[in-house]
Amino acid sequence: MEYRMVIMYVEIGCFVTSLCGWILVCSTLPTEYWTFSEVNSIVLTTSNYYSNLWRDCISDTTGVSDCKDYPSMLALPVYLHALRALAVCAVITGFFGGVLTLIGMKCTKIGGTEITNARVTFSGGITYLVSGFCGMITYSWWANRVITQFVDPNFKAQKFELGAAVFIGWGGSILLISGGMVLTYFSGKEGLPKSSSKGRRRPASYATVRTRRTYMRPPSSSRVTLVPPLYYPDGRSQTTRGTRRSTPIENRDTFV
């Protein structure tokens, strides 16, 4: 199997995994079962209290239930505003992550060149990671507050326990993070420019043997000194040539 086919199947698997995680995260927002508490009364009825980021609900064994939104938005505590913002960011970034991944995958052939598609897929993987971390922070923060109030002996108000929506949100966030990490790794390996690990090579300053394939680097100065050859084509050496040049002078001295 070719490497391109393997990458294509990996991208499809990561996309499906991240899409399932995003759906799970979205399904927890309208659900009231983030926290629950059960209160038994003297009469044979039991009241159940549920709450989430948006409203409080109550139901009893007779089947009657009622939900009430939080009365004032400005009167809410700061942590609840932060949790709402993180939950909405998780949904929005997960949506755009799916769009970018769908455009950049190799099987769709929508983007352009291979490098462009890889970079678009890398952006989608990063967006999936942001969505997963936003969801993980939201559910972990909520769970930490509920558990802290439950185990605190000085907390006199009604105590709640973790609901099913928190565990579903944790599962969806893990799927988003897992799919985004694998997608980012493979697409980044292909689309991002690779920085050479080796340093800049030092150019050779000399050559040991003169051959046709050997390059001798000229000296640092721009001036080149021409050296006469050691041997001439006719077999004369440089020393012989110098001797023959001095011969007329010897003859002239003799003449004088």
Q: Residue 129: which CATH number?
A: 1.20.140.150
Confidence of residue 92 (pLDDT cuts 50, 70, 90): very high
**105-153: pLDDT as tens digits:** 888 777 678 788 888 889 999 999 999 999 999 999 999 998 988 888 8
- Rg (C-alpha) for the chain, rounded Å, is 40
| Whether residue 157 has pLDDT greater than 80 | no
Predicted pLDDT at 25 = 93
What is the chain's mean pLDDT, rounded? Answer: 77
C-alpha 139/C-alpha 103 separation (Å) is: 30
**Least reliable range by pLDDT among 50-64, 218-232, 237-251:** 237-251
Query: Considering the entire predicted model, what is its pTM?
Result: 0.69
197 inside domain? no
Q: Could you tell me the residue range of the domain that residue 164 belongs to?
A: 1-34+77-191
83 inside domain? yes
How many other CB atoms are found less than 10 A from the CB of residue 172? 27
Token pair belonging to 252: 């002239």
198 inside domain? no
| Whether residue 230 has pLDDT greater than 70 | no
| Whether residue 232 has pLDDT greater than 60 | no
Number of domains the chain is built from: 1
| Whether residue 166 has pLDDT greater than 50 | yes
**22-55: pLDDT as tens digits:** 999 999 998 888 888 877 655 566 778 888 888 8
122 inside domain? yes
Q: What is the dihedral of CA 32, 85, 128, 96, to 10 degrees?
A: 100
| Whether residue 89 has pLDDT greater than 90 | yes
Token pair belonging to 70: 């939080």
246 inside domain? no
53 inside domain? no
163 inside domain? yes
More confident: 56 or 211: 56
224 inside domain? no
